[in-house]
Structure 1
Amino acid sequence: MTVIYLIRHGQANFGQQDYDKLSELGHQQAEILGQSLQPRLGQFDKVVLGSMLRHKQTTQQCLKGMEQDLAEPLWQVDANWNEYNHHDILARFGPEFADAPSIESWVRQQPNPKEAFETLFNKAMARWISGQHDDYEESWQEYQLRIKAGLENVIKHADDAKCIAVFSSGGPISVVSQSLLGVDPAKIMQVNWTLVNCSMTKLVSTGSRVFLSTLNDHSHFEGKPKHLITYK
């Protein structure tokens, strides 16, 4: 039996043109996660991560917190665990959302900016997930297939590893969870919006099947300052 921990990256610079890096808080979240895991798990037998910078930075800080000296060349980088391109998805929804400054300007003009952005993003995602448009860099179907391939790669190459960490993003973790729970793909954003930065979703692979054990565990932030719990 192999336990696979899907770990969402720490808080990134959402709303910025260069989103793919952790904020100062994101670094702190990842290290606190590692500190909480050290007495519980000891060390990971294997580390897998997407090829995005925020995945790498989260891995670095988590392993630092765990006091696990696992050299970077021993990490398994698999771009199948990368997030969807939210810039492209928003831009295809409307030309006024083509870049981060334009989106920020639009959001600022709304009576309720937070609610307006969530509504906008959900509509843009619904257009993508519908499969009725072929103008995206990566279709929804292609996205699902590569995440499935990512999970299959982890299981296939687990070897003797009993405890594997996969550092990824909210989208891939939502897709895996949605698939294992049999949730309608149209409702995937209801899963995605709830995933906390540096939360853990635990899978158990028995060899014959994979099942979801826990979803969105962020108990390592409980009892600590509330600002540690973020969603972007």
Structure 2
Amino acid sequence: MGAIYLVRHGQASFGAADYDVLSERGHEQSRLAGAELGRRGVRADEAWCGTLSRQRATAAEALAGFAPGVVAKEDPRWNEYDHVDIAAHHGGGAAQDSADPRAYQAALESALAAWTAAGACSGADETWPAFLARVRGAFEELAARVGKGEQAVVFTSGGVIATLCGLLTGDPAEGLITFNRVVVNAGITKFVTGRSGTTLLSFNEHGHFEGEARKLLSYR
């Protein structure tokens, strides 16, 4: 069987004018994720990331630690949904608030639920069906290329990972909400692929943030 590892980006700049920049903690998390992949002996036979700054920076930091010399290929299909646009159309324009991240999370989940329910009728620049199609397409194309014994690593975002986990467990729209709620920064999710198809093997592994590294654990 082949293996695909999806790594969520490190902590971005929640509540800042430009969210799409890794925080200092985010850089540390990215390096630690790379060290964990190296500890496991993971190879980057294929390495990918989205085109967002936080995804590209996480890929560079992590790959330097376990696959030096490998540069992740960029594919915008691995990009996150546009939370600002979705909030504008389905959440009353709720903005990130670093002083109350729980309230923002509740508002985001409400907006995401309305977005998925609206389907192709949403006024958002990217509808839920379009998001699902691009994410699914990128994943299925990669799974088809990963041969027996090969390993691929993708640096992406929580919504992408949550949607794919939901897709493989029965309901991508529900998965977008429930899996996304708990995915950690620089967490690792593993899929295996073979003749019988693709299977979710583990979700959101973050043992590399236990013990002395516990202080680096974050969700937003």
Report the counterpart of residue 61 of structure 2 in structure 1.
Answer: 61
**1:76 to partner: Cα distance:** 2.3
Counterparts of 2:197 and 2:156, CA distance in 1: 22
Identical-pair percentage: 33
Equivalent of residue 125 in structure 2, options 120, 133, 137: 137
Aligned residues between the structures: 219
Deviations 1:126-172 (A, max 9, x none): 11111264210000011001010010121233357611101100001
Say if 2:218 is the partner of 1:219. no
How has the CA–CA distance of structure 1 residues 25 and 139 changed in structure 2, closer, same or farther, with 3 Å as cutoff? same
* TM-score normalised by the chain length of structure 1: 0.86
How has the CA–CA distance of structure 1 residues 184 and 52 changed in structure 2, closer, same or farther, with 3 Å as cutoff? closer
**Runs of 4+ displaced beyond 4 Å:** none
Report the counterpart of residue 78 of structure 1 in structure 2.
Answer: 75
Equivalent of residue 176 in structure 2, options 184, 188, 200: 188
How has the CA–CA distance of structure 1 residues 91 and 219 changed in structure 2, closer, same or farther, with 3 Å as cutoff? same
Structure 2 unmatched runs, 5+:
none
The 5 A counterparts of 1:140-151 are 140-151=128-139
Per mean C-alpha deviation after superposition, the further-off stretch among 27-36 and 177-186 is 177-186
The 5 A counterparts of 1:14-163 are 14-66=14-66, 68-72=67-71, 75-93=72-90, 96-97=93-94, 100=95, 104=97, 113-131=100-118, 133-158=121-146, 162-163=150-151
Across the aligned residues of Structure 1 and Structure 2, the Cα RMSD in angstroms comes to 2.1
**1:187 to partner: Cα distance:** 5.2
Per mean C-alpha deviation after superposition, the further-off stretch among 80-89 and 160-169 is 160-169
Contact preservation (8 Å) 2:84, 2:93: no
Say if 2:214 is the partner of 1:231. no
Deviations 1:63-113 (A, max 9, x none): 1222x22343xx32111110000000111135554xx5xx54xx86xxxx3
- The one-letter amino acid of 2:130's match is E
Counterparts of 2:93 and 2:74, CA distance in 1: 35
**1:182 to partner: Cα distance:** 1.1
- The one-letter amino acid of 1:118's match is Q
Contact preservation (8 Å) 1:84, 1:171: yes
